[in-house]
Amino acid sequence: MVASINFIIASLLFSAPRNMPPLSTDKDVSNYKEHIISTSDYGARKNHPTSYDDNPSFKGPLKLDQRASPDLHRKRIYNYYREDAILGNSLQVDGLPSLASSTPTKTIINEIVNHLARRDAPVDAKEVAESVEFYLRVNKRIYGASKRILQNNAHDVDDQRIITIQDLCSGHGLTGMLFLACTPPGRIPNTSVRIELVDKVEPKSHSILRDCISEICPWVTEGTVSFVSTPLNDYTDKASNKKIYGNQATIVISTHACGSLTDKVLEYSINSEAASLAVMPCCYTGTDEGAPYGVRRMLGVGLSADVRRSFYLQENNYHADFGAIPRAVTPMNRIIVAERRK
């Protein structure tokens, strides 16, 4: 509740009056409404929530205990299932599910999580819940922005299009692979999706998780998933000049890139003209630099930093918004999601 109030206060403090339409002296109300509509610089707002909830309910199959510390959920996914009477039944299923392009997203997510547990995949229940909840809260918006960009830039409506999702500071890459797994071939007409995972070192768990997912989602393969082992600064310095046009679009995602690395992700997204992006920041120390002292003192480091980041995105042609995953997963649960306007 306090965070919600702080968010409203921050919005008022950071309002930019210069962007507001001038008051009309014309008595014709229809003309005034027309003026407001014509001066709006962003129109595509499908799938946007109507309000901000800083501790939403779970959407995915893992309902972590809201009363427990997130650290208590740092147990291997198999053990988490085995200790839960209801989830434990999913471990006894014989055979593999049959998933296809027509399979609903919710079913794909449920089957992936169950399969990771059955295979005793090297990943914690907390990490699985974090990836699933992040995906379920941003996928429609960032995919929608990418499709809009592709439609506006395509020369021919029948041209084959490519969406590349770049998961920066990806760790084992589960989050990025969920985006691919839940977008089977044919889900987006005339469009193929591929994933590029970026981190300093490719962990051994990555290939195991990829193989587990590919057992039930055969479109998740080494051909559609690539892992780039390099520091973020090296990757962004080389890739930021490779802007993508026409029949290609990029989406940038990042979950818990520490401290200023989140700012580097945002800077890279803008410089490379990504169609959309979604980040979940963490380790806020020092990241509120640039916010007025009174705002930092009132809102705290974390919210001040993210408000500053949202204005940075807005000033660079992005429509920025906030979201969140349940706090039972992590106390650093705020998401910044942004869509390029043109």
Q: Whose structure tokens read 């306090």?
A: 2
Provide the 3-class DSSP secondary structure of residue 198.
strand
Look at residue 133 and tell me whether its pLDDT is greater than 70.
yes
Question: What pLDDT score was predicted for residue 32?
Answer: 34
Contacts of 10 (CB under 8 A, 6+ apart): 295, 299, 303, 304, 307
User: Which of 334, 333, 332, 330 is CA-nearest to residue 74?
Assistant: 330
Question: What pLDDT score was predicted for residue 301?
Answer: 92
Q: What is d(CA 80, CA 125) in angstroms, rounded to the nearest whole number?
A: 6
Question: What pLDDT score was predicted for residue 11?
Answer: 53
Look at residue 245 and tell me whether its pLDDT is greater than 80.
no
Query: Which whole number is the average pLDDT over 185-208?
Result: 95
Q: Whose structure tokens read 């299932």?
A: 81
Contact 318, 338 (CB under 8 A): yes
Look at residue 250 and tell me whether its pLDDT is greater than 50.
yes
Look at residue 126 and tell me whether its pLDDT is greater than 50.
yes
Look at residue 217 and tell me whether its pLDDT is greater than 70.
yes
Question: What pLDDT score was predicted for residue 4?
Answer: 54
Look at residue 21 and tell me whether its pLDDT is greater than 70.
no
Query: With bands split at pLDDT 50, 70 and 90, how would you rate the model's confidence at 218?
Result: very high
Average pLDDT of the chain to the nearest whole number? 85
Q: What is the pLDDT of residues 269-284, one digit of tens each?
A: 999 999 999 999 999 9
Backbone φ and ψ of 227, nearest 5°: -115, 120
Strands 191-199 and 334-340: unpaired
Query: Which whole number is the average pLDDT over 169-190?
Result: 95
Look at residue 249 and tell me whether its pLDDT is greater than 90.
yes
Q: Which long-range contacts (CB under 8 A, 24 or more apart) does 69-76 make?
A: 70/126, 70/327, 70/328, 70/329, 70/330, 70/331, 73/124, 73/125, 73/126, 73/129, 73/328, 73/329, 74/124, 74/125, 74/126, 75/124, 75/125, 76/120, 76/122, 76/123, 76/124, 76/125
Query: Which whole number is the average pLDDT over 182-192?
Result: 93
Backbone φ and ψ of 47, nearest 5°: 65, 15
Question: What pLDDT score was predicted for residue 28?
Answer: 42
Q: What is the pLDDT of residues 139-150, one digit of tens each?
A: 999 999 999 988
User: Which of 79, 115, 69, 124 is CA-nearest to residue 94?
Assistant: 115
**Lowest-pLDDT choice from 3-7, 73-77, 173-177, 307-311:** 3-7
Q: Whose structure tokens read 């839940």?
A: 182
Question: What pLDDT score was predicted for residue 71?
Answer: 77
Provide the 3-class DSSP secondary structure of residue 157.
coil
Q: What is d(CA 202, CA 335) in angstroms, rounded to the nearest whole number?
A: 25
Q: Whose structure tokens read 């490519």?
A: 162
Contact 161, 247 (CB under 8 A): yes
**Lowest-pLDDT choice from 114-118, 152-156, 159-163, 329-333:** 152-156
Q: What is d(CA 235, CA 232) in angstroms, rounded to the nearest whole number?
A: 5
Q: To the nearest 10°, the Cα dihedral for 130, 131, 134, 138? A: 180
Q: What is d(CA 76, CA 78) in angstroms, rounded to the nearest whole number?
A: 5
Contact 320, 27 (CB under 8 A): no
Query: With bands split at pLDDT 50, 70 and 90, how would you rate the model's confidence at 197?
Result: very high
Angle at 203 between CA 184 and CA 211, to 5 degrees: 35
Q: What is the pLDDT of residues 58-109, one digit of tens each?
A: 999 999 987 777 778 889 999 999 998 888 988 888 888 889 889 999 999 9
Q: What is d(CA 227, CA 170) in angstroms, rounded to the nearest whole number?
A: 9
Q: What is d(CA 118, CA 80) in angstroms, rounded to the nearest whole number?
A: 11
Q: What is d(CA 329, CA 74) in angstroms, rounded to the nearest whole number?
A: 10
Look at residue 8 and tell me whether its pLDDT is greater than 90.
no
Look at residue 113 and tell me whether its pLDDT is greater than 60.
yes
Show the domains of the chain with their CATH numbers.
2-14+53-340 (3.40.50.150)
Q: What is the pLDDT of residues 22-70, one digit of tens each?
A: 333 343 433 433 333 333 455 666 677 778 899 999 999 999 987 777 7
> What percentage of the chain carries pLDDT values higher than 90?
64
Of 243 and 140, the one with more pLDDT: 140
> What percentage of the chain carries pLDDT values higher than 70?
83
Look at residue 240 and tell me whether its pLDDT is greater than 90.
no
